[in-house]
A and B are shown apart, each in its own frame.
Chain A
Amino acid sequence: MDFGYTEEEEKFRERLAEFLDKNLTEEIARQNWEDLGVGPEAREFSLKLAANGFLGLSWPKEYGGQGLPPTYDFILLDELGKRWGAHVPLDIGYTMVGPTILRRGSEELKREFLPKIVDGEIEFCLGYTEPNAGSDLASMQMRAVEGDDCFIVNGQKTFNTECHYSEYHWLAVRTDPSPDIPKYKGISLFIVDMDSPGITVRPLWTMSGERTNEVYYDDVKVPKKRMIGEKNRGFYYMMEALGSERNQVFVPGRLMPILGDLVQYVKDTEYNGKPLSEDPLIRHRLAQAAIELEVAGLLADHSRWLESNELPMSYEPEITKVFTSELEQRLVDVGMQILGLYGQLTEDSKWAPLRGRISWYFLHSFMTTIGAGTSEVGRSVIAQRGLGLPRAY
């Protein structure tokens, strides 16, 4: 066993850390995770990250990458996450779409899209969920009908988050509506230009002020060459991508800054003449949070290790997802408990502690166990894939 990193990996981490300390700010970090729209600062940061060779390390050389093992990308995610919970600025393309294009896309699509993703130039939004297809994604109804040189797409998606600022929609739609086949066998994946005629994007605002969207398609033409892989195989591609997506999106290290902020706060804040840090209740809760973060880190590392070594993954990435998303809720709960009355104050309020971050995280925490698949469905996945238990439905 070896829980460490190689010398080269550590060297890379140092170089990266130095770059991030100079170029990454809290403002840039939040432009990504608040989902309001990646602004010019984050776009510029994205380009700089690429220009300095920090994007695409694990991607093949022929598409602009450096052909190194996935570990390097995980180091990137960890180092970003340590700093205000930052992510790759254009992370949907980088962590979710790109790898599937790489695995299943045509050579033409690979040449068109992968270098731009590695250069930090373009972003995608995920078009999966529909009003009647949430956890039961396979029941999606949005329809693509095949024409001569293109598909004509009609219907509605909902909670498609980055659509108001990304260039492309990563769209899953029904291409075979036949009632005689299982629903998941009639779905295909497409890349759609967001400025195609017939697309309407309407905002939906969340309780923490993030923006997500409803997206309507009215006779939108999508060129056939923009289909990923084979027709009606889209759902398989989505499922096979899930593990590596989970590994890249659910980064426990992104929660470290919350713990760090809280540790600083209890040292700096007095109650009745003593720092809060001397209160055993607070000490234990923060210690417990640190324990859980360490365990989460290992669960994630295990799953990443499987992926990096091309070993089979089944339930492991799902454990990372369920554990990390629930840990975020517990950690934020500790924070709110420590801040007491002050936790309710918003960022722009006088007396708001810790830049209002904990209060924002509190509002945000309600979605962590829902978005990208709920904890309930996640636990069923773990039970079925990991333990071989039968499906109940």
Chain B
Amino acid sequence: MDFNLTEEQKILQKTARDFLGAECPSAFVREMETDEKGYTSELWNKMAELGWMALVIPEEYEGVGGTLLDLTIMLEEMGGACLPGPFFPTAVSCLGIMEAGDEGQMKEFLPRIGAGELILTLALTEPLNTRYDPFLIATRAERKEDHYVINGTKLFVPDAHVADDFICVARTSGEPGSKEGITLFLVDSKSSGIQLTPMKTFAGDKQFEVVFDAVKVPEGNILGQLNQGGIHLEPILQKAAVCKCAEMVGGAQKVLDMATEYAKEREQFGRPIGSFQAVQHHCSNMLMDIEGGRFITYKAAWMLSRNIPCAKQVATAKAWVSEAYKRVAGLGHQVLGATGYMIEHDMTLYSRRAKLAEVAFGDANFHREAVAFELGL
């Protein structure tokens, strides 16, 4: 057992921290909340130059050949910096192509993703999903000669306005709710029949309703096997959930850092508020939540990196970290008092994002159910 990062991972972590500290300060994050595009090409290109988009791509596709664990280390830093923009959905889509793509698709997509030339996003959720349920898919793809025609409405599609391609989860047979009969399609975002409507959230990120109205997709754009999309999705969504956890751990750590620093500086009743036991307990509770969250996140990422079956650890991570970050955000606010509740305070960046991350890729209830299943219940 070894809780240390490797030398390379330490360098990765430090590079990410330094770079984001300089290039993605909170003022920039705030600016991007109201910016229509939500990120800048300048920052995107710099990240590409550092090889970040290529991190998990195998060397034979011009990637860096890193592991999922490496990616989570970087995502933790990104969560700490509240990095805006389409890195996350592109990374998840990239993992999706690596999971399910054929040789031709890998060759076509991975090098360009790695070079920062392509932005991708996953179109999964639908109006039927009043609760997160990746198999409750009603969007239909029907075969017509050598292509498919997709009809349906997708919701909460991140960064759809800047995506070059969607991975659209559609049903090719069976009924909503069934894991069978789902197929993944790579859809060019410029295809005719795609209509976007922004879905405004309180975190200022960019999510969209994406309506697919008789969108034609060549047969060759099926990602993985026909009707096997449900099986492909499972590991993709597991990885996505762990990646989300890494972001959350990074954010939670930042909250604790802010709260601790403030508890040392802010004086009331002639002493630092951090000397009051009530405040100390808040800070310790945050630390416990974060340490546990970080370890389970890294354990799940490590297991995924080594192809060790880990459905239980993944679900444990997302269930725990989702609620841990929520608690940490609440306690962070509590320690910071009225100051931290003002929109200009960085605390509000984190508490708003904590809620989004909590419900992304399944909330704690969803993942507790998965743990129960793993227990044989």
Contact = CB atoms under 8 A, between A and B. Distances in A.
B341 A207 contact: yes
A207 B355 contact: no
A340 B130 contact: yes
B351 A135 contact: no
B370 interface: no
Interface in B13-46: none
A376 B336 CA distance: 12
B278 interface: yes
B209 interface: yes
A341 B342 contact: no
Interface stretch (A73-81, A91-99, A186-194, A348-356): A348-356
Interface stretch (B48-56, B66-74, B83-91, B197-205): B197-205
Interface stretch (B94-102, B131-139, B230-238, B249-257): B131-139
A204 B202 contact: no
**Dominant secondary structure of chain B at its interface with chain A:** mixed
A345 B199 CA distance: 7
B269 A272 contact: no
Contacts of A276: 130-131
B278 A376 contact: yes
Contact of A366 (B271, B276, B330): B330
Nearest to B326: A333
A363 interface: yes
Nearest to B279: A376
A212 to B, nearest CB: 8
A344 interface: yes
**Dominant secondary structure of chain A at its interface with chain B:** mixed
Nearest to A353: B130
A348 B200 CA distance: 7
B125 A341 contact: yes
A129 B338 contact: yes
Contacts of A3: none
Contact of A340 (B132, B136, B270): B132
B285 interface: no
Interface in B337-352: 337-338, 340-344, 348, 351-352
A350 B355 contact: no
Interface in A163-219: 204-207, 209, 212
B334 interface: yes
B334 A369 contact: yes
Contacts of B130: 269-271, 276, 340, 342
Contacts of A393: 269, 271, 276
B338 A134 contact: yes
B363 interface: yes
A204 B359 contact: no
Contact of B276 (A132, A209, A344, A376): A376
A270 B138 CA distance: 15
Contacts of A132: 267
Interface residues of B, number: 50
B343 A206 contact: yes
A134 B334 contact: no
Interface in B309-350: 326, 330, 333-334, 337-338, 340-344, 348
B199 A135 contact: no
B240 interface: no
A340 B363 contact: yes
Interface string A366-385: 11011100111001100000
B307 to A, nearest CB: 30
A341 B129 contact: yes
B365 interface: yes
A393 B279 CA distance: 14
A205 B338 contact: no
Interface in A120-143: 129, 132-136, 139
B268 interface: yes
B350 to A, nearest CB: 11
A362 B355 contact: yes
Nearest to A276: B130
A125 B367 CA distance: 47
A336 interface: yes
Given A207-B341, A271-B130, A272-B136, A344 B197 contact: no
Contact of B342 (A139, A206, A375): A206
A346 interface: yes
B166 interface: no
A329 B351 CA distance: 14
B10 to A, nearest CB: 35
Nearest to B338: A159
Nearest to B275: A393
Contact of B197 (A133, A342, A350): A350
A366 B129 contact: no
Interface string A18-55: 00000000000000000000000000000000000000
Nearest to B205: A344
Contact of A336 (B128, B276, B334, B355): B355
Given A132-B267, A336-B359, A341-B155, 6 more contacts: A135-B337, A139-B269, A205-B342, A350-B199, A351-B209, A362-B202
26 contacts: A133-B268, A135-B273, A136-B269, A206-B341, A206-B343, A212-B338, A271-B133, A272-B128, A281-B365, A336-B355, A340-B131, A340-B132, A344-B202, A350-B197, A350-B199, A350-B209, A351-B127, A359-B202, A362-B355, A367-B338, A367-B341, A370-B338, A371-B338, A375-B334, A376-B279, A392-B277
Cβ-closest 3 pairs across A and B: A376-B278, A136-B268, A349-B200
